[in-house]
Amino acid sequence: MSEEPDSKTEAAKLVDKKRIAICGGTLGRENRYYIRGQVVDAGITEEMREDSRWDLLTGLFAGQDKEITPFLDYGLEPVRKPILVAEIWDESETLVHQSPEIKGDDGGFFFHEFTKPLPPGKYSFRILFKRLDSYRQFTKDIAYLNQKGKSEISGSSLIGKGKLRILPENFSGYVTTSDIDQTYLATDIHSNKGKLSTLFETPQQKLPLPGMPSLYREIRLATEDSPLCFISASPHFFRRTLLSTIRSHSVETESLHLKYLEGTIKGIVEKFWDSVTHPTKFITDGILGSMERIRKFAGASFQSLFDQMSYKLTILLRDRLYLPTHSKEILIGDNTESDYLIFLLYQYILSGKMSGKELEDYLYRLNFLGRDAITRDAAKTIAELGEENRKIHGNLNSVALVLINKTQHGPDEEEMHWNVQSALPAGFDPFKEKEIHSYILTEGAPGFAVVLQDNGILDTSAVFRVVAEMAGEWMEGKVIDPSALMEWIQNLTLPGDYQEEKDLIINGLKIALDREEIT
């Protein structure tokens, strides 16, 4: 007996490819801003040919936001060297500016900086595909078109959209930059099983740390719609999943930075091969000197695939170029990797206390937590970005507050203090220098909220709303009930200066429990 075809299986078959630009959003100021993204070919089913059901802001077809996983996006095909044009549209859907042609790289990534003044406000940008600058990609496309006939990759030139927010040059409010894993999301990054499972998690399966979505929302409300940016060392193919995750938590973000691992790997191979085969390197440095330099480069480059220091420091400094001079930064991270040292080094560089060749040499020699993580090229880039920032903003430390989530996977405060002091040059003490804001170590959203209240950023009612939202959420396999919530707040680790604010929250929580306002 012949088998009937499974209609669901047939419907799920990929029948074509659609060319899309995955963009996210960016943050800039009136006289300097940029757009960025990646052009890829995504496999589509017959149903997905319907253009009206594509959300070009997320790069997802209707319903995909609940099903997308990083593993599915790992298979997206980068479009080599696309030539694009970016259009900027205001909130009234009026075209206000158009870029010249933008050339993407071998990985389909594109970046374009604008210097034409743009009034403060919220905009969107549209990415139009024009043609290719890669013979290899062109022949690949032709072969595919000949095989498939009419294809989505040769359809509409509008392939993606993104959000662009422009701040006034005189903006003096807050900009919040936050890590993601173990700061915002309860990601298991400390076991191979946990790291592997993140590849297969849908947005609904990525759980936030209790209270964090509420905290981000309250900061925005209390600070007149201040921007929120995320930086994560997760690979770039997590972008659509993480954007969907953030949206599902009703959190608005201006930008999301992720690491391009394939580019890092390619750079390692090219640089290593150049170091090995270039004879002048051996003549000038000698055999022993050259071998030591190759060993250092290989070790630091390999660690850079996993470490965050070089990557995050570069992103922070690059983003600062596009922020108004007098904007104030709130930095949020955790103690599991190197966030607390990164945020201190960032301040030292902005204030001019570390600069030039001295900074470059320090970063190149830096060994933190037993790892060499900054190559000579990366150290040079960081030093150059620091110099460019000081030319624009002066020797000004824009950081107002540094919050570090205390997790069980990272060191305690005493060990963190030792790690910092042993990593910094002699004579540097961020715990005593007035111009440098040292990190405040506390537990998650409740601790963050108390510190933000003490610094005049949140009021008591906002802190209480953050704490109240935690009831009923999951934490390490358990539901947080009212009694567990009370115990958490009572045991909260905070510097002595914050005891009064902590007592206010405890008293408010007791009253709410008595009234059964928290269930």
pLDDT tens string 297-329: 444 444 444 558 999 999 999 999 999 999 999
DSSP H helical ranges for 125-204? 135-148, 192-198
* Closest C-alpha to 467, from 210, 104, 161: 210
Mean pLDDT across the chain, nearest whole number?
Answer: 86
pLDDT tens string 152-166: 888 779 999 999 999
Contacts of 498 (CB under 8 A, 6+ apart): 450, 451, 454
Q: The tokens of 150 are what?
A: 């009419």
Neighbour-count burial of 318, counting CB atoms closer than 10 A to its CB (0-12 exposed, 13-18 middle, 19+ buried): middle
> d(Cα 412, Cα 260) in Å, to the nearest integer?
31
At 193 the pLDDT is 72
Q: The tokens of 352 are what?
A: 């001019």
Contacts of 286 (CB under 8 A, 6+ apart): none
Grade residue 2 by pLDDT with cuts at 50, 70 and 90: very low
Q: For the chain, which domains are there?
A: 16-169 (2.60.40.1930), 192-252+307-457 (no CATH), 273-302 (no CATH)
At 505 the pLDDT is 74
**Three-point CA angle 331, 334, 336, nearest 5°:** 145
Q: Using CA of residue 215, residue 217, residue 221, residue 227, what is the dihedral sign?
A: positive
> Residue 278: pLDDT above 60?
no
Higher-pLDDT residue of 6 and 253 is 253
DSSP character at residue 223: T
At 181 the pLDDT is 93
Number of H helices, E strands in the chain: 17, 22
> d(Cα 80, Cα 214) in Å, to the nearest integer?
40
> Residue 269: pLDDT above 60?
no
Contacts of 374 (CB under 8 A, 6+ apart): 300, 304, 309, 310, 363, 364, 366, 382
> Residue 484: pLDDT above 90?
no
Note every long-range contact of 148-153, with CB atoms under 8 Å and residues 24 or more positions apart, other chains counting: 148/16, 151/16, 151/17, 152/16, 152/17, 152/18, 152/19, 152/44, 152/49, 153/16, 153/17, 153/18, 153/19, 153/41
Higher-pLDDT residue of 242 and 503 is 242
Give CA torsion, residues 423, 261, 48, 201, to 10 deg.
Answer: -50
pTM: 0.87
* Closest C-alpha to 162, from 86, 49, 48: 86
> d(Cα 102, Cα 56) in Å, to the nearest integer?
19
Q: Provide the β-strand partners of residue 300.
A: none
Strand stretches in 424-477, DSSP E: 440-442, 474-475
pLDDT tens string 9-48: 444 688 999 999 999 899 999 999 999 999 999 999 999 9
Amino acid at 448: F
Q: What is the DSSP string of 397-434?
A: --EEEEEEE--TTS--HHHHHHHHHHHSPTT--TTT-T
At 420 the pLDDT is 96
Higher-pLDDT residue of 288 and 427 is 427
Taking a C-beta distance cutoff of 8 angstroms, is the pair 86, 127 a contact?
yes
Q: Using CA of residue 98, residue 61, residue 241, residue 167, what is the dihedral sign?
A: positive
